[in-house]
Amino acid sequence: MSTGLGDNEIISRVLQGEQNAYAELVNRYQSYVFTLILRMVKSREDAEEIAQDVFVKAYRSLADFRGESKFSTWLYTITNTTSITFLRKKKLEVHSLDNEKVFEVADSRDSGFRANLIEQKSRVNMVNEAIAMLSPDDAEIITLFYKAEQNLEEISRILRLETNTVKVRLHRARARLKEKMEKNFSEEVKNIY
């Protein structure tokens, strides 16, 4: 149940010892954090585990949140570092944006999705599936921009990159997404354009 309080008010209450108030923050941001992680690690089980870890870490470090940025930006910074640490631990390759392997891995995933093309998909599902085919880096930046309501400056804080770099990466990620959609969902895309 939503309390209608702002994030900072809830944080103040939690810091004053009202631990249960933290549940409101978890309810408020769980789907954003979970989506962001899922689009990077591609496994629901792992994403759920990492998301729980993110909220526990955020709780323990709550005294360090100084309110200089939005709580969501601070939380997504923890989400980003925790996901990257997980991917490294699992020895999964975190592909750089300019790495050719990004396309190879994404293409190898494509075959599984092609089988489902016969089904009539909603446009939104198509976008979700196309995002799932992207590299973790591309999927993360698109999710942060479109779903996590972060602007370029906030994303640059989360990813510790220059704002212009974020802008370029976002452009590239969208171009790759468009490419995936045209390649794998050509019928649906024709209807859109």
Partner 1 sequence: MNQEQNIEEQLWSYIDGHSSSEERSLIDKLLQSNLEWKNKYHELLEIHQLMNAAELEQPSLRFTKNVMEKIAQYSIAPATKNYINKRIIWGIAAFFITLITGFLIYGFAQIDWNAQSDSSLPVDLSQVDFSKIFNNNFVNGFMMVNVLLGLVLLDRILANKRKKYQQQG
Judged by the rule CB under 8 A, the positions of this chain that interact with partner 1 are: 14-15, 19-20, 22-23, 26-27, 30-32, 34-35, 38, 47-48, 51-52, 55-56, 59-64, 123-124, 126-128, 131, 142, 146-147, 152, 167, 170-171, 174-175, 177-178, 181, 192-193
Shortest distance, position 72 Cβ to partner 1, whole Å: 13
| Nearer to partner 1 (CB atom), residue 91 or residue 100 | 100
Least separation, in Å, of the C-beta of 186 and partner 1? Answer: 14
Helix 101-114 × helix 123-132 angle, to 10°: 140
For partner 1, the closer of residues 35 and 83 by Cβ is 35
Write the single-letter amino acid at 21. A
With tokens 């921009």, the residue in question is 145
Smallest separation, CB 103 to partner 1 (Å): 16
Give the CA count within 13 Å in the CB-facing half-sphere of 171: 6
- Is the distance from CB of 10 to CB of 21 less than 8 angstroms? yes
Q: List the one residue out of 165, 173, 108 whose CA is nearest residue 140.
A: 173
C-beta closer to partner 1: residue 91 or 173: 173
Rounded Cα distance, 13 and 11, in Å: 5
